[in-house]
Amino acid sequence: MSDRISVEMDNGVADVRLDRADKMNALDPAMFSALVETADALAKDTSVRSVVLSGAGRAFCAGLDFASFQAMGDGGARRQGSITDPVEGRITHAAQQAVYGWTELPVPVIAAVHGHALGGGIQLALGADIRIVHPETRMSVLEIRWGLIPDMTGTQSLVNLVGVDVAKELTWTGRMVSGAEAVELGLATKLSDDPRSDALAMAHEIAEKSPHAIRAGKRLFNNAAKLSVADGFAAERAEIGALIGSPNQIESVTAFFDKRAPDFIDPDIAD
């Protein structure tokens, strides 16, 4: 996609890697742009069934590139790469969209987190559906160190995952959290000594399921907190109504009883 991100496809699984290992995959304007562009491209590709998001080298993502931060401190280029400009037609600015694009992606996104996930790095991980982390990973809502707040969708995702009191504590202290504590708090889903391998294994397992059912599940879960109970139930009824008797639903049942791998068709559009 760019010199900041690499993408490899394997049987419907997109293996997406932040590829700036010499800078611990720090976020500079080019990385922000690459994250947005890559998520947008994958969202349009109906052959994609699941995504693994990881970082090359020693870290998942060390947060904001220090040179960009220093420019802010010097009073120049306060909006590096216009990352705080609104994105046309969306509810985000560019830095938020670099994270929210993965939440919006119609297929599951699994973040494989090792090394450091700091500031914007932890927010990027929180934009995924599932986070598999190394026990010794170091995670922090680090913005308070620089006199800032998390502004890449972190205030929303933190509250949803850990509750408002823990979100406040992590944001106001900026303290480091290990991978093991991250799982205890709900910041991460599970521990692994090899997060990327386990994330890829899970992604391939998901990719073997009906893509229409997987996408329907993501829509329902993403909207659950936004809907009333009645509207949530109505959304369930609409999704199951569309699935029952559809070609991939019939293929799921037939393949199970035939004791063979299912042969699913891709969605017509990136819904």
Q: What is the pLDDT of residues 69-84, one digit of tens each?
A: 566 555 554 444 468 8
Statement: residue 10 has pLDDT above 70: yes
* Share of residues in the chain with pLDDT > 70 (%): 93
pLDDT, average across residues 163-180: 98
Show the beta-strand stretches assigned E in 82-164.
Answer: 109-113, 116-118, 130-133, 138-140
In tens, the pLDDT along 13-54 reads 999 999 999 999 999 999 999 999 999 999 999 999 999 999
DSSP 7-35: EEEETTEEEEEE--GGGTT-B-HHHHHHH
Confidence of residue 87 (pLDDT cuts 50, 70, 90): confident
Query: Residues 220, 226, 229, 235: is their CA dihedral positive or negative?
Result: negative
Asked: is 5-206 a CATH 3.80.30.20 domain? The reply is: no
Q: How confident is the model at residue 269 (pLDDT cuts 50, 70, 90)?
A: confident
pLDDT of residue 83: 81
∠ CA 55-58-63 to the nearest 5 degrees? 60
Cβ(181)–Cβ(133) below 8 Å: no
For residue 212, what pLDDT is reported?
98
| Interatomic CA distance for residues 3 and 250, integer angstroms | 42
The distance in angstroms from the start CA to the end CA of the chain is: 22
Every domain of the chain with CATH number 1.10.12.10 lies at 209-258
| Residue given tokens 């491209």 in the structure block | 41
Confidence band of 139 (pLDDT split at 50, 70, 90): very high
CA distances from 117 to 64, 113, 139, 209, 212 (A): 11, 7, 5, 30, 32
Phi-psi category of residue 13: left, alpha or beta, with phi > 0 → left and psi -120 to 50 → alpha: beta
pLDDT at residue 75, rounded to an integer: 56
Write down the pLDDT at residue 93: 93
Give the pLDDT score at 86.
84
Output the average pLDDT for the chain.
94
Distance (Å, whole) CA 104 – CA 43: 8
Nearest to 14 by CA among 136, 106, 138, 149: 106
Residue 131 pairs in a beta bridge with 111
12 alpha-carbon distance from chain centroid: 17
Residue 263 has pLDDT above 50, yes or no: yes
Radius of gyration of the chain (CA): 19
The pLDDT value given to residue 1: 54
**Residue 5 host element (H or E):** strand 5-10
CATH 3.90.226.10 residue window(s) in the chain: 5-206
Mean pLDDT of 220-224: 96
Amino acid at position 105, single letter: L
More confident residue, 192 or 87: 192
pLDDT of residue 111: 98
Domain 209-258 falls in which CATH fold? Lyase 2-enoyl-coa Hydratase; Chain  A, domain 2 (1.10.12)
